[in-house]
Structure 1
Amino acid sequence: MRQLPRLVVAPRGICHWLSLRTGRRVASFKTPLGTHERVIGFLIKHYAGNFPLWLAPDQVRVITIGAEDDPASAPLIAYAKGIAAELRSQQVRVSTDFSNSPIKGKIQDAEQLRVHTMLVIGGRDMDAGAVSVRLHGKGPQGAKAKGEVVAEILAAIRERRA
C-alpha cells in the first residue's frame, strides 16, 4: 500500500505536503487567489501577454490615416466607424484611433498594447471598399475586401485560432 504525503498547516495558513518516507517538504502553497485568478495568471504567463485573437481583451483596432477633427476626412471616418460598428454587432471587442497622430505612432501604440489585429484605413482603401490588415508581431498582411476581413476575424474567433 502506497502512503500519501501528509498535509501540515503551519502558522499563518501556509500549507506543506510532507513526504512520509523522508519527512521533507514536497510542496508548499498559500495563495490569496482563487481558481479563476490562477487560470488567468497562467494564461498571461503562457502567452506572455500576446493573446490569440479569441482571447485578447482588445481584439481589433480600427486606425485611420485621417483625423476625426479634419472635415476632409469625414467620409473616411464614417467608413471606419461603419467597420467598427459591424464588428461590434458581432460581439468583437473593437477599439478605434481616429486621432491626428501620425499613422506610424498609431500603429506603434497598438503594437505596444498588443492589439492582435489592426485595420488601417486610408483614402484608397475606402475607395476600393477594402482595409489594410496588420497583425501584432507579424506586420502588414496587405489590403483585403472589407467583407472578407470581417469574415476572417469572425471565423478565427469562432474556431479559436491563434
Structure 2
Amino acid sequence: MEIQKLRYVVDGTLNDDEALIDYAKPIVAELRVNMVHVDSDFSATPFKAKISNAEQLRVHTMLVIGGRDMEAGAVSVRLHHGGPQDAKPKAEVIADILANIKERRA
C-alpha cells in the first residue's frame, strides 16, 4: 500500500457530535466506492491527539471535518507534516482526490 493512497477522515469534535459523524460518513462511503483506502476516526479522542496519531501513522492527506466545515458544506484538507489546511466544498475534495489517484496511475 502506498502512503499517498491512504486518506484519513478526522472528526473535528471533542464530544462525539452525531451531526458531524452523519456529515462525514457519506464522504467516507463515496471514497470507498471509488476504491480509495479510507480510515475514519469518529472517536471522542481530543482533536490534537487525532492529528498527532495521523502524523505518526504518516498519513499523507487528512480530511478534517468540524462544525464550520459542516455548515459550509466543506471539508478541510491537511497534508502530512502540517501542510496548509484548506477548506473546500466536499464534492471538490472528493473529485481532487480521485483525480490525483488517477493521475498517479496513468
Corresponding position: 1:145 with 2:98: no
The alignment covers a number of residue pairs equal to: 105
For 1:78 and 1:138, how far apart are their aligned partners in 2? 26
TM-score, normalized by length of structure 2? 0.89
Q: Equivalents in 1 of 2:82, 2:101: separation in Å?
A: 18
Match of 1:87 among 24, 31, 43: 31
Structure with a larger share of its residues in helix: 2
Q: Does 1:124 align with 2:68?
A: yes
Report the AA paired with residue 61 of structure 1: Y
Partner residue, 2:22:
78
Question: RCO (CA 8 Å, sep 6+): is it higher in 1 or 2?
Answer: 2
Uncovered stretches (5+) of structure 1, i.e. residues with no partner: 1-39, 41-50
Q: How does 1:46-61 map to 2 (within 5 A)?
A: 51=2, 53=4, 56=5, 59-61=6-8
* Closer, same or farther: CA 135–86 of 1 in aligned 2, 3 Å: same
Q: Which residue of 2 aligns with 1:157?
A: 101
Q: Moved runs in structure 1, 4+ residues, more than 4 A?
A: none
Please tell me whether Structure 1 or Structure 2 has the larger radius of gyration of its CA atoms: 1
Query: Given the alignment of the two structures, is residue 104 of structure 1 paired with residue 32 of structure 2, yes or no?
Result: no
**2:26 alignment partner AA:** G
The answer (yes or no) to whether the contact 2:8–2:59 under 8 Å persists in 1 is yes
Mark the CA change 1:156 to 1:83 in structure 2 (over 3 Å): closer, same or farther: same
Matched to 1:63, the amino acid is V
Q: CA RMSD in A?
A: 1.9
